[in-house]
Structure 1
């Protein structure tokens, strides 16, 4: 009987260790995917800032304001991209429970969906400014059109980025969904049970 108990303990300990390693690997891959995304966002932002500053000072009219807004808009993108990148690097080796992993994964997916909604607002704001341009002439018209076109472009680019990042993270999160689908809660008079089919 003692041998059976010892073997059972060894088997379940090995199984629990393998599950923990799989969870750690899952969390590490999630953070790496997030870091790659933030590097893409930061690169887009840096290119827009550099191009916007150079072209904003060498062009005139509508184009001048378009390039200037691209630079202004992407200062925020660069800051957010870098803060998220370094935050993710900090979380890289962090040990998480299964429940913590689920919460973190769901939070990241919801963040990208929420951001996609804001991206649509940027584009609508750009369309509004573009429409306002028709009520003005001269410098004001150029400003409204340039800023509007920039917001449409930047909002569209961010919508594409957030959509792709949501898809990548959502696909990655399916591993957790498969693990959760094996959990079964049972209850009856005087008893309750939790079964994990793996």
Structure 2
């Protein structure tokens, strides 16, 4: 009878620990998806605001340069909106409890890599904007378009660089939760297991 009670007690402890890990994983995924959802709302809001504002301003630009600036801002933010909508949709339709630890880790690291690559592209956009403005000095027949597009690249690249930096920091602030979950997993050449701490 004592052995029977001991076996039941051990299984109960393992069950509680497994449930705790599942709830920790679900909680981590909820937080991670919430960060992504807020990020996509900010990006989508920026895109819609830019498209509306620049659309209105394009009706009566003060110069050809300004017209090119407004036009490029609209084109740029069509792309931003096209990226924000699927990202937002993914955040709201994904069930946080349906993701395994492996899927969670893969998604977290993939998102971090994407944000870092985007930040590098943002620097390239800003640099490209400054180069276009410099090129305008030697190409008078394309001066308006180069200056207008250059200003747009600097503005949009600057916003996206700030956006990606904040999103990366927000994601990294959640990485301790993932590290805590991964600390409970042990891998040996013969097996994979969970570490139970009492």
Q: TM-score, structure 2 length as denominator? A: 0.90
Q: What are structure 1's unaligned runs of at least 5 residues? A: none
**Post-superposition CA distance 1:77-109 (Å, at most 9, x none):** 011101111122221345111122111111111
What's 2:138 paired with?
135
Kept in 2: contact 1:123–1:152 (CA 8 A): yes
Distance 1:26 1:144, change over 3 A: same
Q: Work out which of the residue numbers 86, 91, 96 in structure 1 matches 2:94.
A: 91
Kept in 2: contact 1:52–1:69 (CA 8 A): no
Instruction: Tell me the distance in 1 between the aligned counterparts of 2:185 and 2:35.
Output: 27
Distance 1:53 1:194, change over 3 A: same
Q: RMSD of the TM alignment (CA)?
A: 1.9
What's 2:74 paired with?
71
1:48-127 correspondence to structure 2 within 5 Å: 48-59=50-61, 60-93=63-96, 95-127=98-130
Q: What are structure 2's unaligned runs of at least 5 residues? A: none
Q: Work out which of the residue numbers 144, 152, 155 in structure 1 matches 2:154.
A: 152
Instruction: Tell me the distance in 2 between the aligned counterparts of 1:47 and 1:168.
Output: 23
**Post-superposition CA distance 1:44-87 (Å, at most 9, x none):** 01111111111122112322211111111100001110111112
Aligned residues: 194
Higher RCO (CA-CA < 8 Å; seq separation 6+): 2
Instruction: Tell me the distance in 1 between the aligned counterparts of 2:49 and 2:192.
Output: 56
1:29-40 correspondence to structure 2 within 5 Å: 29-40=31-42
- Greater shift in the superposed pair: 105-114 or 175-184: 175-184
What's 1:45 paired with?
47
**Post-superposition CA distance 1:9-51 (Å, at most 9, x none):** 1111011111101111111111111011100000001111111
